[in-house]
Amino acid sequence: MNVEKLRQEVYQIVQDDVKTEHVMNVVLESKKEEEEKRKEKILNGIKAAQNKGVVFGRPKKKVPPQFDVIYEMYMNHHISSRAAAKMLGVAQSTFLKWCNGHEVQ
């Protein structure tokens, strides 16, 4: 919504600066309330979906079976994390994330 254009159109109708500003304040407040209601409705929908078990976002990659062997090679400094990731066909950051999770287990 172009506020200045709307302000000019309202002024042409009422021909009074004070009344124009009052109308603009009412219109802008109404728009703000509608936006807040819309956001609240979206958040409620997301929460309801999550309560039903809907999972948002991209699915996690599964750790391939050969990860343990490549992980050992990486930990023994035979290959770099970049080379290990390339061997597994994943990004280096994914490989390192798997490594951090592997050490915790």
43 in the same domain as 8: yes
DSSP annotation string for 16-69 = -HHHHHHHHHHHHHHHHHHHHHHHHHHHHHHHHHHHTT---SPPPPPPPTTHHH
Radius of gyration of the chain (CA): 28
Domain count within the chain: 2
- What local confidence, expressed as pLDDT, does residue 102 receive? 73
Does 105 score more than 60 pLDDT?
no
Q: What range does the domain containing 96 cover?
A: 67-104
80 in the same domain as 43: no
Q: Is residue 44 part of a domain?
A: yes
73 in the same domain as 38: no
List pLDDT tens digits, range 21-79: 888 899 999 999 999 999 999 999 999 999 999 999 988 889 999 999 999 999 999 99
* pLDDT band of 19, cuts 50, 70, 90: confident
42 in the same domain as 9: yes
47 in the same domain as 8: yes
Q: Is residue 14 part of a domain?
A: yes
Q: Is residue 58 part of a domain?
A: no
47 in the same domain as 72: no
74 in the same domain as 38: no
Other Cβ atoms less than 10 A from the Cβ of 67: the count is 19
